[in-house]
Structure formats: C-alpha cells, structure tokens
Chains A and B, each alone.
Chain A
Amino acid sequence: MIGGLFIYNHKGEVLISRVYRDDIGRNAVDAFRVNVIHARQQVRSPVTNIARTSFFHVKRSNIWLAAVTKQNVNAAMVFEFLYKMCDVMAAYFGKISEENIKNNFVLIYELLDEILDFGYPQNSETGALKTFITQQGIKSQHQTKEEQSQITSQVTGQIGWRREGIKYRRNELFLDVLESVNLLMSPQGQVLSAHVSGRVVMKSYLSGMPECKFGMNDKIVIEKQGKGTADETSKSGKQSIAIDDCTFHQCVRLSKFDSERSISFIPPDGEFELMRYRTTKDIILPFRVIPLVREVGRTKLEVKVVIKSNFKPSLLAQKIEVRIPTPLNTSGVQVICMKGKAKYKASENAIVWKIKRMAGMKESQISAEIELLPTNDKKKWARPPISMNFEVRQRRGLEQCVLGKTLEILPVNLCTYHLADDETETPERSDFNSQTHFFPCRLPPRN
C-alpha cells in the first residue's frame, strides 16, 4: 500500500510530506528529488524504482505529487488516488499551486489523514469530506450529536457522495455532453482511425435523495425494446447507436446496468462526470477539414485550409476555433479568411481562427502566408495536427426533455435521455450543451 505521500514545488522543495508506513524513511523524500525532479535526463516514465522503493508521480502545473511504496501495490489505484487527491484539493482551494498549498498545508494534512489511512485510500468524495473537514476547525464543537452521527453515517454509508437533507427552492439539472472526435487522417485524406470519446457532465441541484434515470439510444437497449413494442421504435424513427464501451461514476448502479442496460443513480450534489462513452462505428464527421500546404522557396510557406460543415442546415455550430500549427522558425504570418477572425499567436506557434457560428452544409476557408527564418534544421518541426473545437448548445424546457423525447446532438450519438424522479419534485430547467473537440488530420509532409 502507499507508504508515503510527498508534494514538491518545481525546485524540488518539499511542501507536504506524510509518511504512512515504517519502511519509508526521510531519505525517500530526497531520493525522489535527486533522481526524478533534478534528474539529468528527463525521466520519462511515471513510475520510478529507486533502490527498491517505487515512486509514482503526477505533475499539476509545476507541482509534483509523489506517492511512495516498497510493496507491490495496485499501481492503477495509486494513480487514481493521486488524481482524486488533486480533485479534492482543487475543490477545497482552487488551483493547485505552490502558494495555495503552502497556505493550506494544515488542511492538506487533515485531508491526508482522512482519505488515506495506513496507506489505504478511504472515502474521498468531496461532498462528504466537506461536511467534517472544514477550513474552520472549530466547527465540530458546535455540532449537535445528531449532526455528528449524520456525518459519520454519511462518510461510511452506502451513498458516500451525497449528504441528506439538501434542499433547493428551484430544482435544476444541467447536462453537458462533451465529445472529442479523435480522427487520424493520412495526408492523402484517408481516415486511418476514428473514435468518439464522450463525457456526460451533470450539474445537479436537486433536493433530497433523488432517484435519477438516464437513458440513451444505445443499440442494445433499442433492440431489446423493439422486441416488445416494435411500432414504438419505428415511430420514433431514431437511429440507434452502437456504444463500444462506457464507464460510470461510482453513483451508478453497475449491476443494474449490466443486467438491464439502465443507468440509475442518486447523483452527488453539484457538478460531476456521470459517464464516459466511446464509439467507433458510424461516426459522422461534423466537419471536413482540407489543408493544403505549399512550400515556396526555403523561407515561405503557403497554407490554405477549407472547412466544410457536414450536418443538417438547421443546426448551428458555435464558438468554432481552428488551430493551425506553424513552424518554429516562423517570423511573420499574413492571413486572409472569409469568415470570422484569424490571428497568428507566436507564443503558441499557431494560427488561431475563430468563427462565431456556422450553420450546417456551409463552407469557409482561410489562407495564410507564413514567412520563415532560414535555420540550420537543428530542431525539426514536429508537424502537429490541425485541431478544431466547437460547441452546439441547446437549451430546452423540461417538458421537452422528459421521458423519451429525443434530442439531437451533434454529431453523435446520444439522442435520448429521460429524467425520471420518483418522489422528488421534477427539475424545472435543464440545460443541454454539447462540445466537440475535433482532431482532424496530420499535416501533409513537407518536401
């Protein structure tokens, strides 16, 4: 199990050091600094073994978090724990920075005492932790006995992520669907591989212990229903999608999903990631990006990028951002674009082209002349891919989205969702937002 946990700043100074097991000594703190943070050769693996001691590290901005052990621990668990630790810290004091860590070191020690006991991770849901680890340590004295036992039963209870007795005047629920279309395209325009990985992020502000149900037009579900009421499926006429795999927040009852494919849960309060999914079949590419790169002599590059929206004209993509990487030795850029605004950002080595909105089946293009400084090819340009970002926002009243009413989301794939609460009041408003990142292609090779 985890023998100790250290937090360092970018210089390798220890900010937090908590040791859980006897086999980890103070020298472990130094070993990591010397062999990883100050290592002459950049350490490339996130797991390092130094003198039979294993170090797991993750970096957040310039802060190093390192977990240490001498045993054969579950490595995946250690990393999951480190991420969780970052989430919890961020939930308490915002950005993980040296300043914030120093300012909150007492709190961090308190947290570490609670969420890691003898090196075994314990309940680390922020919602639960915040009930009894507060930044005002004195609070506990004013708690009544009932309050105390409520806290403890929540921390250990079945639903460790939500406390009882939450009340909202307005019950609201927001749903964001964030998708990234990962597409690998050869310079010749051939799709090498494509998959959509999506996240459903929910912001719930609901009272009590609401029992929620979430559905999707998953092929397996629809086929199952189709057996019973064939006409119903044909009536809705919705395409079903084949989801390759999905994973759920721990509040979702997995065994129920396994047997019935239904997603039922009692949500944590506030924002959380309900599920992730991945599909590879029948991916509709929302945009086509066609790059043309021409080299004019040694010091000039002409780039032309055409984007074509490939969805129904009735839909509107917003906040489109196309990022066209430029060589490292770029000295100046002239851009002309038909729509939106484009700017060369020297610090990011890219031309950023922003378009406010664009309807379906439209086309737009940008052309740029890139001036290059003559260089002695020491550092070759890695030719990163062009990437694109946009969102489709749909705001609907609740009456439209309850039970079976389908929503069309760009470009995929989740079409239905229902909200069924059993006893609690129905949510009054829900907000639907789909965001898609889109990595279209490698730049054609330069000659």
Chain B
Amino acid sequence: MTDSKYFTTTKKGEIFELKAELNSDKKEKKKEAVKKVIASMTVGKDVSALFPDVVNCMQTDNLELKKLVYLYLMNYAKSQPDMAIMAVNTFVKDCEDPNPLIRALAVRTMGCIRVDKITEYLCEPLRKCLKDEDPYVRKTAAVCVAKLHDINAQLVEDQGFLDTLKDLISDSNPMIAESHPSSNLLDLNPQSINKLLTALNECTEWGQIFILDCLANYTPKDDREAQSICERVTPRLSHANSAVVLSAVKVLMKFMEMLSKDLDYYGTLLKKLAPPLVTLLSAEPELQYVALRNINLIVQKRPEVLKHEMKVFFVKYNDPIYLEKLDIMIRLASQANIAQVLAELKEYATEVDVDFVRKAVRAIGRCAIKVEQSAERCVSTLLDLIQTKVNYVVQEAIVVIKDIFRKYPNKYESVIATLCENLDSLDEPEARAAMIWIVGEYAERIDNADELLESFLEGFHDESAQVQLQLLTAIVKLFLKKPTETQELVQQDSDNPDLRDRGYIYWRLLSTDPVAAKEVVLAEKPLISEETDLIEPTLLDELICCIGTLASVYHKPPSAFVEGGRGVVHKSLPPRTASSESTESPETAPAGAPPGEQLDTVPTQGDLLGDLLNLDLGPPVSGPPLATSAVQMGAVDLLGGGLDSLIGAPSFVAPPAAAVPANLGAPMGSGLSDLFDLTSGVGTLSGSYVAPKAVWLPAMKAKGLEISGTFTRQAGSISMDLQLTNKALQVMTDFAIQFNRNSFGLAPAAPLQVHAPLSPTQTVEISLPLSTAGTTWGPPCFQVAVKNNIDVFYFSTLYPLHILFVEDGKMDRQMFLATWKDIPNENEAQFQIRDCPLNAGRAPEPCACPCCPVPCPQP
C-alpha cells in the first residue's frame, strides 16, 4: 500500500469531498478519507471543519481507524470543546472493552484531550483502569494520572488518585512499579526509595532513567544511606543506554558529596566513574556532544575523575566541530601531560577548518596561562605558528600572546620584534587591539612605538570602538613613558560615549596631575587568573544536579530557559554530613573573591575559549567596589590599564556634568552635554506605568535575604525600587549593589543606601536612582549582584523598555519620516509576529529607533 498519495491532494474543494467520503457507507472509503484528513493535518492544513464527521467514524471496531480518529481528536478537541463532548460516550464505552489494548488506548487518548469538560468524565473510567486486571492498562492509567495532574492538580488530589498511585508503586508488575513519571508527584521517603531501587533492576531502560532522575532529587538522611544507594546504582553504569549511564552518574556525583573523602568506598566510586564517561565518547555524535558538555562540568567539579584520561579527548579527524574536546583537554592539562597536549594543539593549528584552528591557537595560550612551566614552550609554539604567516593564525596568536604577557609580565618581551613584523597583516579588531596594547605597554622597549601607533591613528575613524579605546590608552601610556617624543593627544571627536569618557578622564588627569596620571595609567596590573573560565561554584553545583539534562548542555540553570515556575526547582548539592568532618573541599574554596579584587570573573556562557580578556572598559563605578564575580558574563576589563585602578580609588568618582570644566574643546563639550541630557532629561511627565513589585531574589536562594522590586521612571529619572526583607535570623548590614553591563548601560547612580542594619523580619524600601551611563553591552538580560555582610547574591531580571524612553521624544511626523528614510534600507528587517499575546506594560513594544534614547541593538 502506498500512502504517500494522501500527501498530494491539494485541489480545491477537497474539504467537501472529504466530508462526503467520511460519511460514506463503505468502511474502506471511510478509512481512506480519515487518512487523507490526517495527512492534511500533518502538513498544517486546517481540517477542523470536519470535526463532527470524523468523530462519527469513531464507533468502529477497526483499531487502525480508531487510532486515527483519536489522533484527530487530540489535535482539534481543544478548538472544538463542545463537539468533543460527543466523543465522551465512546471513550467511556471503550474503557470497558474486553480488549485491553482498546481500554488502554481509550484511557490514554482521553488524557490527551485537554478540555475541562472531558476531564470531569475522565475520572470514573480512570479510577476503574487504575485497578484494571491487565498490567498494560494499569500502566497507561498511571501515566494518565500525570496528564490529569498537569491539567488540574486539585482534581487529582480530590479524587485520591495519588494514593492509588502509591499503591501502584508496589504493584506486582515491574513496568508499573517503575515509578513512572507520575512518581514525580509523590513524596519520596526511604521506603519508596527502596522500592524504586528494587524496580531499577527490572524495568525498561526508560523506566530506569525516570527512577534515576527521581533518585537524584532525593536527599538521603545520612552518609550511610547515601552509600547504600550509590552501591545499588553503580551497576547501571554498564547500561548500553547512555541516558541511563548519565543519570546514574548524576546520582553518584550528587550523593558522593555526602561521603567522606577518607572512605575507601569514595575512592572506589571515583575510579568507577571514569570508564563509563570515556565510553560515552564512542557513542553517536549527538550523544557525544551531550556527554562532553557534561564531562566539562564533571571535570570542573571533580578533576580527579578523569585526570588520567587526557588522550581520549584528542580530536579525531572525523569529529564534528560542535564537539568541545579542546576545552576538556585544557581543563585536564597539567605539568605531567602538557608536552602531549601542546604537540596535539600544534597539529590542530595546521588543520583546515578555520574555526577549529582558531580554537586550537587560543587553547595554546590558555595552556601557557594554566601551566606555568609550559609557558615558554607555548610561546615558542606560537612563534612557530606566526611564522606560517597564515593570516588568521597570526591574528589569533597575537591575541593570546597578549594574554601571556599579562600573566607573565617582563618575561617574553623578546618576541615583540617578531610580532611587529606582522603588523600589516592584522585586520581583525581584536588582533589590532591586542597589538596596540602590546605596543603601549612596552612602549619604552620599542624604538619606533610612536611611529607604529601613528600608523594606526591614520585610520582612527574607521576602527572599531575596541581598537579606538585601546589606541587612546596606548597613546597615553606612550606619552607618560616617553614624554619627549610624544605627539599631540588624540583630538578626534567620536560619538562613542565610552571613548569620550575615557578621553576626558585622561585629559583631566594629565592636565591636573601628571604624576597621579602616571600612577594610575601605568599602575601595576593584577595578573590574570588561570581559570577565568570556570563556572561559578553555586551554578556548577546546581548544574551537577542536572547532569544529563538540557541545563547541563546549555550550562545554564533551568530557570534561564524554562518558562514559568513549574519544574524549576532549585537544586543544590547536599551538604556533607556531620560524621564526615571534612575540611571544605578545595574546589569550593574560591567561592567569592575578596572584594576589590578584579580577577574572579566567571563567564557562564560556556564559550570557554572565548575572550580571556575583553578590551572594553568596565563602567566607572561610584561607590564601594563589589566582588566582581558579580559580572557573570563577559570579562571585566583586565587590560584597559587605566580605569581598573581608578575603581579602587573612591576619591575619583565620575562627577556629574557640572564638574566638567567649561572651557573644553567645543566638539567634545557639546558631545558630553548631549550625553548627560539623556539622563537628566527635560521631561515633566509624571512618570509612566509602574509594574507591581516582583520577587527577584527569593529568600531561599540568598541566605534569608529576599529582594523584590520594580523599575520606575519619574520626571526623567529612572530608579529601581527595591524592597529588602530579612528573613534570616541574623542582622544584615553593609549592603551594596552592582550591575553587570547590560544592553542599555543601566548603572546605579548612587550607592545602595540602607541606613540602619536590617534586623530579622524587618523590611526596608529603597529607591535606587539609576543612570544609563554604564557600558552598553551584551544580551538584554539584566544581572544584579547584591552584597551584604553575609555573602554576595546574584539574580537577574528584565527591565521594561519604557523606563528608558525620554519624555520629550515626541517627534514631528515629517521629521520622523525623514529620519526613517535616512536609515539605509539594508538595516531594515521585517518579520511577522504570530500568536503574540499582547501583554500591556510588560511586552516591549517594537521600538522605532529614532525615538529611542540609546541606540537599539539591531534585531
């Protein structure tokens, strides 16, 4: 039989034809017609008009036809709830059919018809099916409870289905006992855990996954219980199904946390973990990808697991590019194996795929930073690569050499000459900026530093902001080092606020106190850390609890990509129990860098080979510096040289516009006041819509500090209204706040003022004025760090766009049209938004760029 013909009916009037066929007397014809309907449905045609006719076909003893009709019902019942009722009778009848397959089919389908009215009728048959004599029907009914719970949780409880489910766990038939999805609804206690563990040996591979995932949510009461669970879970590591293996690894990784490290069993367990993880690498490429993302987490949490397995992460010729073996190679690199790693990386750097080669070159740089003993070899390898004169290799190599200079200052300057030879071939901003930084930093050792910089200056306007900023700093450095030879400062005007600001700061510094300028600009820079790319420990712990799941693939907490609160339970590793009075495990030690240190930046984006150093300047922070792990994405400027040190000096707080000397150069001055206009605003409107306060940081996550808040705009100034509640038992003091760089450069305009210590159960309301003077950068999310005497907490939220709109943005119609036309056509992107629920207030309205105060990121 060839059913493909059903896909090709495209003629007009087919609905009527189908209708006729559906009502035909001949069984065969009816079946044909239903098939056609299903085919049209698949392709996306709307065949809901045929609802009554299709439902009429339901009363049949042909199982195939019945299944098709049910399929149709599941798709369209929601759009035709009234007519769906017509089907109920058949369902109820089918639930009593002598054939267990039909009973199961009926109860399964009923659960999928998510119409309230139907659910009422569902309860009775469901109850019967849960006690059916046939295991297959019972199993299907158990899943149906889960479906029902999804539609109407209250109903499930009222009807006592949960109790029936609990009985099912001890069902004689393992398939049902396999806890099933429904067990997510049940509380876990040691007895039910025991039953689940027994069922683990007997159920299907999928059931094993559910059970293991379920176990991972359980917290054993002591280390003994943890160990006994681990013992019963370990055999699963030899399962052919990778998901079973990964879920078992998850349970073990989590429960290991509770075991004492001195225990023999702990060591055995560690040894048992490695081989299955390595075996996962011979699975199909998609699974390898999932496995590698997870291994990346595991080696961060417990590097000892795979420390001897470096070789298996060598990249094979036919590996798909999305496999991230390089990252793991770097993580496992140590003094013992660095020679091998470098030889491999050098080999990769001569491969064909450009992206891959770049990654390999970066990896060499990271090796140098990670393993100090290897730095020299890395540098010589990089020099070899530069000699190949392959353009992108050279550029990438220069970027990483700059990083190496940062880590080991005054050690490898001999290579500068070689670098300078390649000056002309650099065309990527990052490489140019890196080169300029090197020239500026070592100006005194490069004879023709001024000429080199001048050559860059010629095309100043065409450079990207990154290069411009770097060039500015480099020139200042050069000036300070060799005042005699220095030419005039950059007198270029620019519409980039960062660049202007930095120019001003230097200008003022130089004109008021050259000595101070020297101290600031040429200050000794902190060394870059070895592991700038580690995932932040609390996030890592959460991700470890999510091994195997999407969260572990994205390296993001589930809340970042799952909608709504459902299913987003924050997971954390269990604390080590008292019996194992271990010292803090070393990997959790660097939880938060001491305040004021600018190093501990933690990009969560997973692009581990990404920028070690970002050349952008961090925003000038007024107020006490915070632990900079606040900046979770992207690196803080480690390089800019200038402002880093300023941040530490509270005496230098970027003053408001008034402080700017009046006799500034005209172009610059007007530019500046423009800038400040944006924030001071002229608007007289008395504020706009204010969203109700939402809980941003639940007390659970922040050791008792609950923060809720909202954003307001009043009379042209933006503020963040916060409500801090102390739900802990101790007094909280020393509050401070810090934002990550965000799309519109929102930054606190004043420090967070909490006047009195916040005693337990007390709540304070604070309005924190904001400005848009920060660096504009990054994704539209808004990440905030709040510090108090207890710890630093992070949360992220979204600010409504309207708070950024200036009140005087009203534009003449003609002018708007003219401005619109001025935007080149190629910048225009068109798309249709479908099924978009218009949610007043929250949904950002499509904003026409001319009236927006800050340049919008292009969609």
Contacts and interface: CB of A to CB of B under 8 A. Distances in A.
B311 A193 contact: yes
Nearest to B66: A137
Given A70-B563, A103-B1, A192-B311, A58 B286 contact: yes
Nearest to A250: B205
Interface in B231-246: 232, 234-236, 238-243, 245-246
A121 B243 CA distance: 12
A54 B202 CA distance: 32
Given A76-B548, A184-B316, A192-B344, A248 B240 contact: yes
B206 A244 contact: no
Interface string B103-120: 011001001101000000
A248 to B, nearest CB: 6
A157 B550 contact: no
Interface in A127-142: 132, 137-138, 140-141
A110 B322 contact: no
A16 B147 CA distance: 23
Interface in A21-53: 22-23, 25-27, 29, 44-47, 49, 52
Contact of A244 (B278, B322, B352): B278
B290 A75 contact: yes
Nearest to B351: A382
A44 B201 contact: no
B243 A80 contact: yes
A117 B143 contact: yes
A257 B235 CA distance: 8
A253 B201 contact: yes
Nearest to B143: A117
Given A76-B291, A278-B279, A193 B312 contact: yes
A400 B781 CA distance: 70
B44 A118 contact: no
A384 B317 contact: yes
B3 interface: yes
Interface in B543-569: 546, 548-554, 558, 561-563, 567-568
Given A49-B554, A140-B99, A273 B240 contact: yes
A385 B551 CA distance: 36
Q: How large is the interface on B (under 10, 10 to 19, 20 to 34, 35 or more residues)?
A: 35 or more
B44 to A, nearest CB: 7
Nearest to B102: A140
Interface string A85-103: 0000000000000010011
Given A105-B38, A250-B241, A153 B561 contact: no
A174 interface: no
Nearest to B286: A46
Q: Which of B1, B105, B290, B314 has the most CB of A within 10 A?
A: B290
Interface in B1-29: 1-4, 6-7
B240 A149 contact: no
A389 B245 CA distance: 30
B162 interface: no
Contacts of A228: none
B314 A193 contact: yes
Contacts of B350: 445
B314 A184 contact: yes
B180 interface: yes
A152 B137 contact: yes
Interface string A265-299: 00000000101101000000000000000000000
B204 interface: yes
A120 B2 contact: no
A118 B289 contact: no
A361 interface: no
A186 B213 CA distance: 43
A120 B276 contact: no
Nearest to B140: A117
A72 B571 CA distance: 13
Nearest to A109: B71
Given A113-B71, A121-B206, A71 B562 contact: yes
A433 interface: no
A206 interface: no
A160 B278 contact: no
B321 A77 contact: no
Interface string A397-435: 000000000000000000000000000000000000000
Contact of B317 (A72, A249, A385): A385
Contacts of A151: 101, 136
A209 interface: no
B111 A123 contact: no
A79 B835 contact: no
A76 B244 CA distance: 8
Interface in B751-774: none
A14 interface: yes
A99 B236 CA distance: 39
Contacts of A80: 205, 241-243, 287
A309 interface: no
Contacts of A245: 238, 275-276, 278-279
Contacts of B88: none
Contacts of A44: 320-322
A118 B112 contact: yes
A385 B314 CA distance: 15
Interface stretch (B171-179, B298-306, B327-335, B506-514): B171-179
Contacts of A381: 352
A250 B548 contact: no
B175 A123 contact: yes
B722 to A, nearest CB: 27
Interface in B588-613: none
B176 A156 contact: yes
A79 B284 contact: yes
B240 A148 contact: no
B206 A120 contact: yes
A352 interface: no
A173 interface: no
Contacts of A255: 201, 232, 235
Contacts of B553: 47, 75
Given A244-B278, A247-B245, A73 B549 contact: yes
B834 interface: yes
A137 B62 contact: yes
A197 B280 CA distance: 11
Contacts of B105: 113
B533 to A, nearest CB: 19
22 contacts: A14-B43, A18-B71, A45-B289, A70-B563, A72-B546, A80-B241, A113-B67, A113-B71, A118-B147, A120-B180, A151-B101, A152-B100, A152-B135, A153-B173, A155-B136, A156-B135, A158-B174, A182-B316, A247-B276, A250-B204, A382-B351, A384-B318
Given A103-B4, A113-B71, A153-B135, 5 more contacts: A44-B320, A137-B63, A152-B101, A247-B239, A382-B353
The 4 A-B residue pairs with the shortest CB-CB distance, nearest first, are A137-B64, A245-B275, A102-B4, A152-B136
